Amino acid sequence: MKVFKFGGASVKDAEAIRNVAHIIQTQGSPRELLVVVSAMGKTTNALEKLLDNYFAKKDYEQDFRTLYDYHMNAARALFPEGHPAFQAMERLFVRLRYTLLHHTRPENYHESYDQVVSFGELLSSTLISHFLQSSGIAHRWIDARDYIKTDTSWRKAQVDWAWSEHLIQTELRPVLQEQIVVTQGFIGGTLGGRTTTLGREGSDYSAALFAAALNAESVTVWKDVPGVLNADPKHYAFASLFEHLSYRQAAEMTFYGASVIHPNTIRPLASKNIPLLVRSFLTPTKNGTRIDAEGGNIQKACVIRKENQCLVSFAVKDLAFITEERISYVLDACHRLHLKLNLIQSSALSLSVCFDDRPEYVEELRQLLQEDFSIAYNKNLLLITILNYDSALYEEVKGKRPVILQQATRKHIRFLVPMDES
């Protein structure tokens, strides 16, 4: 039993979808293969914009038309006129519009978000399923919401593992023993039939959950990079491949923001000792990176960038010290909003937290804490983490940018700098 996960870049257009079929045919098997797919290209971003413009009472019709044309153009490049894929896609867009108009409310933004943004994976998996069928690849399309069961923590739903594992083992495994199965990443479902999402870029996590429940032989994540690199080659010429990592090493890198793997992916796989393979869909015959219990002895430095960060600083209004009680109060508010804090720093009179900048989260946090704290913001920041650093590399990576906040140990250093300065 194997699991293949294809991200947005690997299914972004008709040519990419043809390549997915080729990889399944040449690297997969006719049965005991689960294919998990993300939304096409930047569809998740487009759906977020659609929802935001609808709630802001702006003209969202152009957003809807752009999204529609993007998917239907891919369909027209893959299928002849009159193919059943067109009707299937039309039905999904009718459902998307109905959901937007009748099942969203601004006061329940996060719940509404999950109902709308989840259509990205439904659209891509439907299109891919029809193309696999037309290519002679026998398989079954399934709805991940019937198997990945969660609570109602909208946008970062918590998985009911016992329930999900039971459904996957009893209902999905028999299907996989007969043929390939295609499903969606990123989305889950509640007991009441509502759609949830597992957090941005959560399709890796979905693949890991399915693999752990199935006791799979391996999970392969197909990316547009040759594997896990020690730096982003778009920014650093010294970027090179890690051929072998341990679960612990990979988990640390994802915690600090390495985007090639979703942070929640490692734990389910490590619990069942299932290897994670990160390979390139551009060069599918190459091995890429293997992540397992053994790993390798990493000595080379690793540079991790997290863009679009927000730093929020809290100071007690009466000039009182930031005690453990006040720290707990702020962190509890962040927890209630399901905010993942990327960095925390305290001083005598203030506490600062850094997280991915989303305006709705910043506003909710301000409303919760403004009575007790004076609150200051810094936005448009870049958080850089260097593992196994030295002073020369630090200076090279930092460049001339002013450092807003910095933390360091003997091996690691993290610092915040403005995004718009080099």
pLDDT tens for residues 295-323?
A: 876 778 999 999 999 999 999 888 889 99
- Please, what sign has the CA dihedral across residues 256, 234, 229, 29? positive
Residue 298 is predicted with a pLDDT of: 72
User: For residue 297, what pLDDT is reported?
Assistant: 67
Res 362: pLDDT? 85
- Give SS3 for 241: strand
Least confident of 23-27, 263-267, 352-356: 263-267
Radius of gyration from C-alpha coordinates of the chain: 22
Beta carbons of 143 and 188 less than 8 angstroms apart: no
User: Which residues, 6+ apart, have CB-to-CB distance to 82 below 8 Å?
Assistant: none
Longest dimension (CA), the chain: 71
Distance CA 403, CA 381 (A): 10
Here the tokens at position 212 are 């752990």
**Predicted local confidence at residue 281, as pLDDT:** 98
User: Are 115 and 193 within 8 A, CB to CB?
Assistant: no
Question: What confidence category does residue 338 fall into, taking pLDDT thresholds of 50, 70 and 90?
Answer: confident
pLDDT of residue 259: 81
Q: What is the pLDDT of residue 242?
A: 94
pLDDT at 317: 84
Cα–Cα dist 310/336, whole Å = 18
- Confidence class for position 352, pLDDT limits 50, 70, 90: very high
Range in 11-15, 195-199, 214-218, 337-341 with the lowest mean pLDDT: 337-341
CA 120, 195, 98 angle in degrees (round to 5)?
Answer: 65
> Using CA atoms, how far apart are residues 270 and 165, in angstroms rounded to an integer?
16
- Poorest-confidence range of 118-122, 345-349, 358-362? 358-362
421 pLDDT higher than 70:
no
Which stretch of 31-35, 159-163, 191-195, 254-258 has the lowest confidence by average pLDDT? 254-258
Distance CA 292, CA 278 (A): 11
Mean pLDDT of 103-108: 94
Domains present along the chain, CATH in parentheses: 2-292 (3.40.1160.10), 302-418 (3.30.2130.10)
155: left (phi over 0), alpha (psi -120 to 50) or beta: left
Question: Side chain identity at 88, as an amino acid letter?
Answer: A
| pLDDT per residue as tens digits for the range 131-142 | 999 999 999 999
For residue 21, give the amino acid letter.
A
Mean pLDDT in residue range 328-333: 96
Mean pLDDT of the chain: 95
Q: What is the mean pLDDT of residues 330-351?
A: 93
- pLDDT > 80? residue 353: yes
Mean pLDDT (whole number) for 145-171 = 97
Q: Flag the least confident range among 59-68, 72-81, 352-361, 403-412.
A: 352-361
271-286: per-residue pLDDT in tens? 999 999 999 999 999 9
pLDDT of the residue at 48:
97
**pLDDT tens digits, residue range 198-226?**
998 899 999 999 999 999 999 999 999 99
CB 50 within 8 A of CB 64: yes
Q: How confident is the model at residue 422 (pLDDT cuts 50, 70, 90)?
A: very low
Cβ contacts of 110 within 8 Å, gap of 6 or more: 154, 155
Q: Compute φ and ψ for 67, nearest 5 degrees.
A: -65, -45
Encode pLDDT of 45-85 as tens digits: 999 999 999 999 999 999 999 999 999 999 999 999 999 99
- Mean pLDDT, residues 97-111 taken together: 95
- What does the pLDDT look like over 283-299, one tens digit per residue? 999 999 999 999 876 77
Stretch (H or E) spanning 208: helix 203-214
CB 179 within 8 A of CB 138: yes
